[in-house]
Amino acid sequence: MHKIPVGVLGASGYAGRELCALVSRHPALDLAFAAAHARRGERARIAGRDVTFVAAEDAPLDQAALVFSALPHGASGEWVGHARAAGAKVVDLSADLRPGAEQPAASGPAGGAPYGLPELARDQVRGADIVANPGCYPTATLLALLPLLTRGLLAPGATITVNAASGVTGAGFTPRPDLLFAEVTEDYRAYGVGNTHRHLAEMRAVLDDFGADADLVFTPHLLPVARGILATLVVPTRERLADASALWREHYAHEPFVEVADEPPALRDVVRRNVARIYVSPAQGTRQPTLVVVAAIDNLVKGAAGQAVQNANLLLDLEETLGLPQ
Amino acid sequence: MHKIPVGVLGASGYAGRELCALVSRHPALDLAFAAAHARRGERARIAGRDVTFVAAEDAPLDQAALVFSALPHGASGEWVGHARAAGAKVVDLSADLRPGAEQPAASGPAGGAPYGLPELARDQVRGADIVANPGCYPTATLLALLPLLTRGLLAPGATITVNAASGVTGAGFTPRPDLLFAEVTEDYRAYGVGNTHRHLAEMRAVLDDFGADADLVFTPHLLPVARGILATLVVPTRERLADASALWREHYAHEPFVEVADEPPALRDVVRRNVARIYVSPAQGTRQPTLVVVAAIDNLVKGAAGQAVQNANLLLDLEETLGLPQ
Amino acid sequence: MHKIPVGVLGASGYAGRELCALVSRHPALDLAFAAAHARRGERARIAGRDVTFVAAEDAPLDQAALVFSALPHGASGEWVGHARAAGAKVVDLSADLRPGAEQPAASGPAGGAPYGLPELARDQVRGADIVANPGCYPTATLLALLPLLTRGLLAPGATITVNAASGVTGAGFTPRPDLLFAEVTEDYRAYGVGNTHRHLAEMRAVLDDFGADADLVFTPHLLPVARGILATLVVPTRERLADASALWREHYAHEPFVEVADEPPALRDVVRRNVARIYVSPAQGTRQPTLVVVAAIDNLVKGAAGQAVQNANLLLDLEETLGLPQ
Amino acid sequence: MHKIPVGVLGASGYAGRELCALVSRHPALDLAFAAAHARRGERARIAGRDVTFVAAEDAPLDQAALVFSALPHGASGEWVGHARAAGAKVVDLSADLRPGAEQPAASGPAGGAPYGLPELARDQVRGADIVANPGCYPTATLLALLPLLTRGLLAPGATITVNAASGVTGAGFTPRPDLLFAEVTEDYRAYGVGNTHRHLAEMRAVLDDFGADADLVFTPHLLPVARGILATLVVPTRERLADASALWREHYAHEPFVEVADEPPALRDVVRRNVARIYVSPAQGTRQPTLVVVAAIDNLVKGAAGQAVQNANLLLDLEETLGLPQ
């Protein structure tokens, strides 16, 4: 079978390397280039093959049918434009094109890029040339909420509380003293406390699309693990749901990458897999009907590179599950 | 100085060993015995001295002015009675005497044992013979909430969300397959989801004492660290507070073991110290005035053995801070 | 393709579960049963399929073409006999049949079972009905040494020093207080110091087969990681070798599961893969010509279950690499 | 009591911060300044007091009776000169003045600085103005060997094998991608393989001082822990020692900071303490009489800052154990 050439920009970071590995193992894709400015000329062994990084300037964009951009927020937009100009479809893993971005691209090559959460917007992605790959926290949070959002079951005026914890690869591969092993081991902390994390706007924008009448309070935490996100949501509902779990199961019955679990998920249930694993339970003893929803993903797979390949499959009209570890 | 003899029941678990270590270093206390049924006859090196465990049956209860019970929930009550009958004061670290316990001791030796959170009930503890040492999660949670509870600032009908994460020593020293290193490393999970954790009743009882008109939804999580609890609370308030941090600082101005911080606390700020470190911030962008409060403690110190020594100091009319690592 | 039915005894331990997972993904094998006495009747999810454990007594031994025994040392021998009597070939992961075992089975069904290190004894394994799967430390150590042993290059009267460190899964899944997360994290220690580890006899026996005139001093250590073994050997040689690395490369040129590396291997190079990765370097500044050899394996894969499948492939006359993660 | 003013150069690294903490708690020392070029003007909370870093250029060297230099190797020498010129005594934690340094200072202010391993050279340190604080690996290794070296018990022509593993703080606080949490967790590797580590020369020089007729092969490893070094030595001896342990006990009977243990030491036995804990056992089954010696230290305490304070106590004619955590 003739493989489709794809390229990766920002290939030396955690998401970029995960992308290179997924592409290398993908039965229908071929890695045309892996660009990483700071490491240009270096060779790395990824998924059993040797990859030589090139500078982005030297990347043969026109030889790729599709380009993944795992460049940093702010820097990605320009290269998305170059890739589109060269005729490539684009999956942008940065926040630049996502709803709620500070300077969303309303027009131009990326204007109106659909939000690539396939479980929410599969049909818009399928026909598109470019897609904004969701953030890791929003992926876990929104998949936890979709069954309620689509049915209008949130309590009016509710406060949705999202407490999420992420492994340190979520902070990227840039060396920072606070991410050194000796600083992270045996530690745990909250950050972005008080609704100041970038991902809030992205989640908020999707809630607004649904016309949700709800406050959202999001607090991320840094876990002493390499990979994985666990989001714990407390959600007031319009009424008590006789069988909340059944509702989630029904909603996701045909989704290949969402598992509704009988027990609260653990990171190890999802690490290295392109799935979200979700558990829902009513809160006992509350006057206000309230659900607790727990969602786990691998921040680098379903929260980044895996979802990007899922989107690429849709953009390229391939089977959506192709090349993805379930 | 003549030292006061104290004993420890349940001395071989994590809280028991921490107690033995604190007592060994305490300038006014002397370890009269360390009882640990399963390890009777064994010697351990604790805080630089050799401790030989005895069976509880062989513990010279009558030679202790005060007995700490770190026995398991359910088993502690009986021994508390024996210790009281032998004339010793008691600090009970089990849940048996706490508010909200399934079978609270309404009368008898332990009837009406005050709840030993000194920052809440110092005056009741000081005159007592017996005290119920709070649970680890309730300690972190209630210290985070007290400034609001005492001032009646909760929004009426509010839902207080408490997401907390604990190191594995919180689950005790009993070997369980799910607590083996290889099962916990690189993992993270929620448990007691849906308000089913034992500690909920303890927190709920204190809120009820304050007449708080609020739901409480509590979700604990298991962290891949040895020690520490971080509790993240989302709390709707009656009004927007101009300077929430100032309110917490004022409330705890004279408390030796509560720190109000300028940055969200991390576990490493509190581990091996008998302090709660608290940060408070308003949630941006919500219609309902809402605070996010983050509290960190060492589950074995301020959440167990350290607080027990703090209570013992009060029961024995010693300086409250004596022998405690700040 | 018709799959060959195989069974696993001792299926609930770490090696047993790894075996079930490998068999489940193996293109030519089918899991006929998974026996785990203590968990009989329980269901587990392994490699994406539901496995129900049976008691060993209820295991349909006669329906399996081959049985893996991951039972504890001492208990395995009897079941190996039952499996052989039922007509199944056997790969025994216990130490019971290995060279140097305390009571080696000289005759009977297991008498003279070849030592299943294929890189050493492939031809004997291929024609056999039963094979003794090597221990994890001996696998790493012997693969590090084979190029010297086969060429008689050890210095006469030499002392070979083997320092090895293993992840905690090497100690099995039985709950022991000293293997709890809180006891292992941030710790590291030696055990079996002074040549008292069981695996020494196994290595010694192979050295003796080669007529090696050398002492062997082996010191294992416990690492705070889940998986992986790194063995560091210091080996005096008969003469200075101009290019030691070339000698190892030549020796293993046709071995699918041994990699000779340009840099010292790390655990993460080999975890979840059925390979040994080896680095060799002369020691600078010594009068006695001396090599330092570092070998890394995954203790559960090349050090246990993966090698067992490699041996099963040989016993069943399948392609040796079938179903094994390289 | 009037406290003696001391300063710290290189105060923001791991050893520097440990020094500031030890000085802050020391009953006879007062922290006159803490210099850290890259963080000048910043404030840090160390051991319960606020420390403001100054640039080394602005450090009031002449106000310190003693200066600790925790500057990087190569950069330290110049500042040692400045501090001496200003009249301060100096403890240099860098490798610049140690035996075996590439360009040892034979003359000038630092010429002939004694090697500050008090258990080896206490008398030379006591009268000196400047001392070269030993490296972390040499401290563990040499304390393990001293009882043999001083008695001439090494087997003639022996090869001493030292395998040592260190926590990541040993690599310093400079952000390097390979020291990020996600790169180190669940990993383990050797480095400096083949006798290429800087510390070899330092150990070699001490062995030569003893006229030891022995090769030394040293292989360090990187552990996924924050703190601690464990060194495992295999040492051929001139004869079989009837009771090796007794020999070590006798040698160290009066040393306050060396413990001879009945069981192999673990990192957690020594972390945050200024001790070396040593275990010795004969190797069973070898023709050549051979000992296995295991030594554990905290690389930041007995391996760096603690030993530096021990040396400072000697230089300042204070009680050697003052202010040091045993």
């602005």: which residue's tokens? D58
Is D252 inside any structural domain?
Answer: yes
CA neighbor of D73 nearest in space, from D45, D96, D53: D96
User: Considering CB atoms only, which of D266, D267, D290 is closest to C215?
Assistant: D290
B residues 81-110 near C, CB within 8 Å? none
- For residue A242, the model assigns a pLDDT of 87
**B106 pLDDT more than 70:** no
CA distances to D68, D135, D142 from D302, rounded to whole Å, are 15, 10, 12
Summarised one tens digit per residue, pLDDT across range B111-165 is: 679 999 999 999 999 989 999 999 999 999 999 999 999 999 999 999 999 999 9
Question: Residue D154 has what DSSP assignment?
Answer: B
Alpha-carbon span C88 to C9, nearest angstrom: 13
A150 touches chain C (CB under 8 A): no
Alpha-carbon span A298 to A296, nearest angstrom: 7
The verdict on B160 and B263 lying in the same domain is yes
Is D324 inside any structural domain?
Answer: no
A20, A31, A61, A136: the catalytic one is A136
- For residue D37, the model assigns a pLDDT of 87
What is the arithmetic mean of pLDDT over B248-267? 98
**CA dihedral sign, ordered B182, B188, B192, B198:** positive
A182 touches chain B (CB under 8 A): no
| Lateral strand order in the sheet of C258-260 | C189-190, C214-222, C158-166, C229-236, C290-297, C276-282, C258-260
Alpha-carbon span B232 to B294, nearest angstrom: 4
User: What are the mean pLDDT values of chain D's consecutive 10-residue runs (326 residues total)?
Assistant: 92 96 96 93 84 94 97 92 96 92 56 91 95 97 98 96 97 93 98 93 95 97 98 97 96 98 97 98 97 98 98 98 90
In a mutational test of the D interface, the residue from A181, A185, A225, A299 whose CB has the highest number of chain D CBs within 10 Å is: A181
Summarised one tens digit per residue, pLDDT across range C47-77 is: 778 889 999 999 999 999 999 999 998 899 8
Is residue D142 helix, strand or coil? helix
**B105 pLDDT more than 80:** no
């001496």: which residue's tokens? D84
- For residue C106, the model assigns a pLDDT of 47
D262 touches chain C (CB under 8 A): no
What is the arithmetic mean of pLDDT over C233-243? 96
Predicted TM-score (pTM) of the model is 0.96
**A102 pLDDT more than 90:** no
Query: Is there a contact between A286 and B224 if contact means CB atoms under 8 Å apart?
Result: no
Percentage of chain C lying above the pLDDT 70 cut: 97
In a mutational test of the C interface, the residue from B18, B178, B181, B227 whose CB has the highest number of chain C CBs within 10 Å is: B181
**C-beta separation of A152 from A213 below 8 A:** no
Token representation of residue C5 = 């039915």
Summarised one tens digit per residue, pLDDT across range D159-168 is: 999 999 999 9
The verdict on C119 and C175 lying in the same domain is no
Instruction: Sort strands C29-35 and C4-9 into parallel, antiparallel or unpaired.
Output: parallel
Alpha-carbon span B21 to B44, nearest angstrom: 11
**C111 pLDDT more than 90:** no
Instruction: Sort strands B276-282 and B290-297 into parallel, antiparallel or unpaired.
Output: antiparallel
Chain B residues lying within 8 Å of C182, measured CB to CB? 14, 167-169, 179, 226-227
Closest-CA distance of chain B to residue A79, Å: 32
CA neighbor of A229 nearest in space, from A138, A317, A315, A149: A138
Percentage of chain A lying above the pLDDT 70 cut: 97
Alpha-carbon span D156 to D151, nearest angstrom: 13
Is B321 inside any structural domain?
Answer: no
The verdict on D172 and D182 lying in the same domain is yes
Token representation of residue C213 = 């005139």
Token representation of residue D108 = 């000038």
More confident residue, C101 or D237: D237
**C11 pLDDT more than 50:** yes
The verdict on B284 and B294 lying in the same domain is yes
- For residue D105, the model assigns a pLDDT of 53
B204 touches chain C (CB under 8 A): no
Alpha-carbon span B302 to B144, nearest angstrom: 13
Percentage of chain C lying above the pLDDT 90 cut: 87
Burial C4-42 (b: 16+ CB within 10 A, else e): bbbbbbbbbbbbbbbbbbbbbbbebbebbbbbbbebbee
Summarised one tens digit per residue, pLDDT across range A33-48 is: 999 988 999 998 887 7
- Write the DSSP string, D272-312: TSS-EEEEEEEPTT-SS-EEEEEEEE-TTIIIIIHHHHHHH
Is A326 inside any structural domain?
Answer: no
Mean of the per-residue pLDDT values for chain B? 94
Q: C-alpha D281: how far from its chain's center? A: 24
Question: Residue B170 has what DSSP assignment?
Answer: G
The verdict on C240 and C140 lying in the same domain is yes
D262 touches chain B (CB under 8 A): no
**C33 pLDDT more than 70:** yes
Angle, in degrees to the nearest 10, between helices D199-209 and D136-151? 20
Query: Is there a contact between A266 and B224 if contact means CB atoms under 8 Å apart?
Result: no
CA neighbor of A308 nearest in space, from A83, A85, A8, A50: A8
Instruction: Sort strands C43-46 and C49-52 into parallel, antiparallel or unpaired.
Output: antiparallel
Alpha-carbon span B70 to B56, nearest angstrom: 12
The verdict on D92 and D159 lying in the same domain is no
**A287 pLDDT more than 50:** yes
CA neighbor of A6 nearest in space, from A315, A321, A325: A315
Is B235 inside any structural domain?
Answer: yes
**B107 pLDDT more than 60:** no
Residue A255: CB atoms within 10 Å: 17
**C107 pLDDT more than 80:** no
The verdict on B246 and B282 lying in the same domain is yes
The verdict on B181 and B236 lying in the same domain is yes
CA distances to B149, C91, D50 from B265, rounded to whole Å, are 22, 53, 17
Summarised one tens digit per residue, pLDDT across range A119-160 is: 999 999 998 999 999 999 999 999 999 999 999 999 999 999
Summarised one tens digit per residue, pLDDT across range B190-246 is: 999 999 998 999 999 999 999 999 999 999 999 999 999 999 999 999 999 989 999
**C110 pLDDT more than 60:** no
Please provide residue A168's backbone torsions phi and psi, each rounded to the nearest 5 degrees. Answer: -75, -15
B136, B201, B206, B275: the catalytic one is B136
pLDDT bin (cut points 50, 70, 90) of residue C30 is very high
**C325 pLDDT more than 90:** no
Q: Which domain holds residue C74?
A: 4-133+303-315
Alpha-carbon span D307 to D93, nearest angstrom: 9
Summarised one tens digit per residue, pLDDT across range C165-219 is: 999 999 999 899 999 999 999 999 999 999 999 899 999 999 999 999 999 999 9
Question: Residue C182 has what DSSP assignment?
Answer: H
User: Considering CB atoms only, which of C190, C224, C265 is closest to D294?
Assistant: C190
Assign residue A74 the CATH number of its domain: 3.40.50.720
Alpha-carbon span B156 to B237, nearest angstrom: 8
Please provide residue D288's backbone torsions phi and psi, each rounded to the nearest 5 degrees. Answer: -75, 125
Q: How many domains does chain B have?
A: 2
Is A320 inside any structural domain?
Answer: no
**C100 pLDDT more than 90:** no
**C35 pLDDT more than 80:** yes
Chain B residues lying within 8 Å of A289, measured CB to CB? none
Alpha-carbon span D65 to D88, nearest angstrom: 5
Mean of the per-residue pLDDT values for chain C? 94
Is B323 inside any structural domain?
Answer: no
The residue of chain B nearest to residue C225, with distances taken between CA atoms, is B182
Residue B63: CB atoms within 10 Å: 14
pLDDT bin (cut points 50, 70, 90) of residue B104 is low
**B86 pLDDT more than 60:** yes
The verdict on C280 and C311 lying in the same domain is no
In a mutational test of the B interface, the residue from C180, C186, C187, C300 whose CB has the highest number of chain B CBs within 10 Å is: C180
**A225 pLDDT more than 90:** yes
Which active-site residues of C does the annotation give?
Answer: 136
Assign residue D188 the CATH number of its domain: 3.30.360.10
Percentage of chain B lying above the pLDDT 70 cut: 97
Report the number of secondary-structure helices (H) and strands (E) in chain D: 9, 14
Which residues, 6+ apart, have CB-to-CB distance to B246 below 8 Å? none
The residue of chain C nearest to residue B226, with distances taken between CA atoms, is C182
The verdict on D125 and D154 lying in the same domain is no
Is residue C78 helix, strand or coil? helix
What is the arithmetic mean of pLDDT over A4-16? 96
The verdict on C181 and C293 lying in the same domain is yes
Residue B242: CB atoms within 10 Å: 8
Which active-site residues of D does the annotation give?
Answer: 136
**C-beta separation of D21 from D46 below 8 A:** yes
Percentage of chain A lying above the pLDDT 90 cut: 87
Query: Is there a contact between B189 and A230 if contact means CB atoms under 8 Å apart?
Result: yes
Is B233 inside any structural domain?
Answer: yes
**C-beta separation of B236 from B175 below 8 A:** no
Q: What angle do CA C77, C82, C87 make, to 5 degrees?
A: 125
The verdict on A119 and A106 lying in the same domain is yes
D38 touches chain C (CB under 8 A): no
The distance between the two most distant Cα atoms of chain B, rounded to a whole number of Å, is 62
